[in-house]
Structure 1
């Protein structure tokens, strides 16, 4: 398939999913024209469903972009956006904030109080960024890819253990932490949409500017150096893109599994193109994947909702299992 054809197909799919996102709510699936003709229902669509739907698309796009960057940077088809410890750092940040704020379970992540939500969002973002910073410190920069990879794994394990210790010591935070770790797009508002869209634009442009480095690294580090590519500076830029995109998405929607891992694989399975195309297409594929999961999460058990992270794990994990069966391993042709 030509990359342009896939791009147009993903844009068309995103458009269809956006309309479905506006039609699906606690009452199930309703015609959009009927909703807009009802003043109250129309207000719900514009104030709740539309920002939630756009937010799911933006968060998925950030994770898809980060996943493509991670897999290209580490030359590892199993790399995902959380590889540098950002997920564990965000979880620890939220758990610490919940303990320090001393909130009751009913008022935690589900609270409509924007100050509380802003505090937890900020804690998640700060935790993710600090975890990536600790990884870089342990790895002594970004020059050695293997060292950076191992440092990320170690930081993730240690911070994950610290989060588990907090959960054991303060069991009251177990319920809201579970909501965070399973992912939730239900409280994404217009401010979050604007923030994620802006970060996606900045990170996307930066990643596209460094796409030649990813192309060079795919041929081997020695080959990339022989081509005269400034690996050091652009590695720093790509790690910054990875940290910022992942931290922003996690802070707004919690930990959503498999989107960043599955989206680049889906793109590479359909087209053979350079990293410039892969970054754009993986970002759109990630947005569509999370949006599909968000619509299904609202519709399957309406008026109840499933955690969106559970559905992304089922969808993304099922695709990767099928891919492994078809290719005899993820690294076979990816």
Structure 2
């Protein structure tokens, strides 16, 4: 590897570590009244605010973004498409359907939504429904595509499943209008109720998926050379593709279940990594996870402080930023 490329990779790694470290510190300072240390004035209340509210929220946002960044890098490598994102295989529509069904069946009205202070049992019910729905959407996609052997068929199956599950979403909300508010809150994305249990679950998911994705990164490197070249290397592509899809579904499902549908992080993070370095898939996966974590961490800090004491839904904020980034990127490429 040339020394210049090694230096670029080192600079990117250090920059991401610095962004994350400063972001975690800023997350302890950003509150409903702006940026200050007033929470520390009262030792008892300050400790509660810092370590029971702001610290788990910041760490949770970091981990959610890391899972989305990892999923986006897996999706773009697997489909060999720079516009692939973690929601391609029906996970988003499935998670939304799971939440809507729970809200409609249980009669959980506005006061019982996570954003409005749901109790622990109701919160776990919505989280579990979103996770099961996300994995169910991916499973339906795999069944429709008859496995993960053909990426084009898998992609088309994901589009079909997404449309069908979206129609079921609309049908359920038609008969249960009270579930519409819960679905809307879920679609906007939220980090406000990420606590230490969420951080533990998200950390466990990242610790399980990232090392396995690293071990399978050689498959993505081989696929970048083409299907025939990958087969000539003796790789069992159908089985390895299925393993990559499962990892992507697990990472996406866990993140979506905890924070809702946060847009564009999984799509933009691999793009930013590719703009700075050219590296094997293993490095890109880890760097994309770190980039996604840094992006969502800082987006959450801005979303909760820019119009304090009110908060912007972090999913709406990332959608605006991500959409602007892609528009700029497309306009620059169009001028070449």
* Structure-2-length-normalised TM-score: 0.95
1:291 aligns with: 297
2:206 aligns with: 200
Aligned 8 A contact 2:111 2:118 in 1 = no
Q: Which moved more, 1:198-207 or 1:165-174?
A: 165-174
Shift of 1:67: 0.2
For 2:57 and 2:76, the matched residues in 1 are separated by 28
Aligned 8 A contact 2:68 2:265 in 1 = yes
For 2:113 and 2:329, the matched residues in 1 are separated by 39
Aligned 8 A contact 1:59 1:287 in 2 = yes
1:72 aligns with: 77
Q: Deviations over 1:126-178 (max 9, x none)?
A: 00001100000000011111111100000001001110121222111222211
2:256 aligns with: 250
Runs of 4+ in 1 over 4 A off after TM superposition: none
For 1:75 and 1:161, the matched residues in 2 are separated by 29
**Match runs of 1:85-234 below 5 Å:** 85-109=90-114, 110-234=116-240
For 1:289 and 1:295, the matched residues in 2 are separated by 10
- Aligned with 1:23 (options 29, 35, 58): 29
For 1:51 and 1:5, the matched residues in 2 are separated by 28
Structure 1: tracts of 5 or more residues without a match? none
2:87 aligns with: 82
Structure 2: tracts of 5 or more residues without a match? none
Give secondary structure in 2 for the equivalent of 1:228: coil
Aligned 8 A contact 1:84 1:156 in 2 = yes
Shift of 1:233: 2.1
Aligned 8 A contact 2:147 2:238 in 1 = no
Aligned 8 A contact 1:22 1:45 in 2 = yes
Aligned 8 A contact 2:111 2:117 in 1 = yes
Shift of 1:65: 0.1
Structure 1 position 282 matched with structure 2 position 288:
yes
Give secondary structure in 2 for the equivalent of 1:177: helix
Aligned 8 A contact 2:66 2:293 in 1 = yes
For 2:117 and 2:309, the matched residues in 1 are separated by 19
Shift of 1:36: 3.2
For 1:250 and 1:325, the matched residues in 2 are separated by 31
For 1:190 and 1:280, the matched residues in 2 are separated by 24
Shift of 1:228: 1.7
For 2:118 and 2:96, the matched residues in 1 are separated by 20
1:55 aligns with: 60
1:318 aligns with: 324
1:237 aligns with: 243
Q: Deviations over 1:93-151 (max 9, x none)?
A: 00000011112222223233000000000000000001100000000011111111100
* Structure-1-length-normalised TM-score: 0.96
How many residues were matched structurally? 328
Give secondary structure in 2 for the equivalent of 1:103: coil
Give secondary structure in 1 for the equivalent of 2:125: helix
Shift of 1:37: 4.5
For 1:271 and 1:321, the matched residues in 2 are separated by 22
2:50 aligns with: 45
Note the aligned Cα RMSD (angstroms). Answer: 1.3
Shift of 1:199: 0.6
